[in-house]
Amino acid sequence: MEKKAKIIATLGPAIYSSTKLKQLVNLGVDAFRINFSHNTNGISKIVSKIRSIERITNKKIALIADLQGVKLRVGKIKKENQRIKYNQKYTFDNKKQIGDHSRINFPYPNILKKLKKGNKILIDDGKFTFVIIGKKGSAVTTICKSQNCYIKSNKSIHIPNFDISFKKLTFKDKKDIKTAIKLGCNWIALSYLQNEKLILEARKLIKKDMGIISKIENKHALKNINKIIKATDSVMIARGDLAIEIGHSEVPKVQLSLIKKCSQFSKSVIVATQMLESMIENNTATRAEINDIATAIFQGADTVMLSAEAAIGKFPTQAVSTMTQTILSTEKYKKEHIEDFKNSIISNKDPVKSILLSVKDIAYNPDVKAIIVFSNSGKSVKLVSAMRPAAKIFTISPNINVCRQVSLLWGVHSINSRDANGWKDMMSISKEIIKKLKFIKKNDFVVITAGLPFGRAGMTNMIRLYKVETK
């Protein structure tokens, strides 16, 4: 049995070797995330390794460039895992020098000016709390209010109840987008956006065959969620930052709501942050973590993501294996939820979308074993995936980057093939593929969708129900 939900693993020193990368792909990883908030020196060599593994395994692998965005981060520190004692005084300042046991760079002078006595500064996704007890010039003095506090370079900063408004891509983000294009990344993830404007700005800078993932991390994004979902290609529920913004107890409700809303607009959704956090140090997961993954799958998430568990964890292969096994186990019992998906999608009077929605009733017939989608842009297969058909989904595209991009979608297998020259050629390509699929037998049915004339993106207007006559 193959899993239908997909897995993202974050790249980091723990998995940089070709052996580890190949192991993770074989265990179920469908995409790798490049975190541009951290040092990306030498990342091109890692990407080359991934593309080599892609050829060996014959599995299309998506690459995600996760931009730093406007998310606040501390500067560098001399000693990684620098311990700060409980009730110890600690300074945040605008000095560019590398931090140490007594101070660290807070590279946002305009924000420093506005901070007041009593404000809290939360570090590393809210793990560690510092309370401001004084100000002097461009520095604030704080007192550490966390036990076992360890500061690392470039970790996130949150200031509760402090409105920080950023409306444009940063210089670094624009630079990193250029790097992502050179690396051949298939997705751009936008961090800490507040509305759809950042999406529209990024859209002008990326290639047409790249998708945009919008990370939902703050109250502003939730307020503007409908416009964000309509403008983006995918949504990531970044639960760490989101929990700090809205409170941990609110996250489960928001997660379910966002997954349902994304299904209505046939947009894929990724659930991320601390899914197997304990496996950074331990080779087994907790029951709560297993349940967390299963809940995301039951709710309808397309993809689940590993962050530090893969990047710096001691047991990355075990973490991926655990996630895969949990997905497989959960998907066996998820069929009763399918109706929610196929009946929730909104067509918005889009004729192409309306045509594809007619597939949904055909696709749930048990005699239909596969759906073959000819797609130049990936738009059609995104909708088919959103319908959650029981039949396996195969997308055929002459564009290798589209193949890689859609491999991140629920239940989708991508095949890089020549474009069809016409009706007869389309059927010829389809029959060639069907012959190679061992699970399809004589008298089984396959749904084939394409757009006429061929080669024009976003023009799906043909559906054929094909009965396999010979095998």
* pLDDT confidence of residue 355: 66
What separation, in Å, do the N-terminal and C-terminal C-alpha atoms of the chain show? 22
Query: Six-digit token pair at 387?
Result: 């319908």
**Residue 106 confidence (pLDDT) above 90:** yes
**Residue 360 confidence (pLDDT) above 80:** no
**Residue 289 confidence (pLDDT) above 60:** yes
**Angle CA(73)–CA(75)–CA(78) in degrees, nearest 5?**
140
* pLDDT confidence of residue 462: 77
State how far Cα 25 lies from the chain centre.
Answer: 16
Q: Which residues contact 403 (CB under 8 A, 6 or more apart)?
A: 60, 395, 397, 414, 415, 416
Region 379-393: mean pLDDT is 87
Query: Six-digit token pair at 212?
Result: 């945009």
In the structure, what pLDDT confidence band is assigned to residue 161 with cuts at 50, 70 and 90?
Answer: confident
Backbone angles phi, psi at 55, to 5 degrees: -70, -40
CA distance 346 to 357: 9
* pLDDT confidence of residue 375: 87
Q: Which residues contact 278 (CB under 8 A, 6 or more apart)?
A: 285, 286, 289
Asked if 67 and 36 touch (Cβ cutoff 8 Å), the reply is yes
Residue in the block written with tokens 């309370």: 131
**Residue 35 confidence (pLDDT) above 80:** yes
* pLDDT confidence of residue 352: 62
**Residue 135 confidence (pLDDT) above 90:** yes
Return the SS3 of 307.
coil
**Residue 27 confidence (pLDDT) above 70:** yes
Region 242-257: mean pLDDT is 93
* pLDDT confidence of residue 77: 93
CA distance 421 to 418: 9
The pLDDT tens digits of the residues spanning 398-451 come to: 999 999 999 999 999 999 988 778 788 889 999 999 998 889 999 999 999 887
- Number of separate helices (H) and strands (E) present in the chain: 18, 21
Region 46-51: mean pLDDT is 98
* pLDDT confidence of residue 457: 58
Helix or strand holding residue 306 (H, E): strand 303-306
* pLDDT confidence of residue 344: 61
* pLDDT confidence of residue 461: 63
Structural domains in the chain, sorted by start: 6-69+167-332 (3.20.20.60), 82-158 (2.40.33.10), 340-467 (3.40.1380.20)
Beta bridge partners of 373: 395, 449
In the structure, what pLDDT confidence band is assigned to residue 380 with cuts at 50, 70 and 90?
Answer: confident
By C-alpha distance, which of 66, 57, 54 is closest to 12? Answer: 66
In the structure, what pLDDT confidence band is assigned to residue 71 with cuts at 50, 70 and 90?
Answer: confident
* pLDDT confidence of residue 167: 76
* pLDDT confidence of residue 340: 57
CA distance 443 to 199: 46
How many residues belong to the chain? Answer: 471
Q: Which residues contact 408 (CB under 8 A, 6 or more apart)?
A: 6, 8, 30, 31, 62, 64, 186, 187, 234, 268, 302, 303
Region 295-301: mean pLDDT is 94
* pLDDT confidence of residue 236: 98
Return the SS3 of 431.
helix
The pLDDT tens digits of the residues spanning 315-339 come to: 999 999 999 999 999 998 755 555 5
**Angle CA(287)–CA(290)–CA(296) in degrees, nearest 5?**
140
Which pTM was predicted? 0.87
Beta bridge partners of 158: 122
Task: Quote the percentage of the chain above a pLDDT of 70.
Answer: 91
Mean pLDDT over the full length of the chain: 90
Asked if 206 and 177 touch (Cβ cutoff 8 Å), the reply is yes
Task: Quote the percentage of the chain above a pLDDT of 90.
Answer: 66
Region 207-221: mean pLDDT is 94
Supply the DSSP symbol for 266: T
Region 185-191: mean pLDDT is 97
By C-alpha distance, which of 93, 152, 98 is closest to 128? Answer: 152
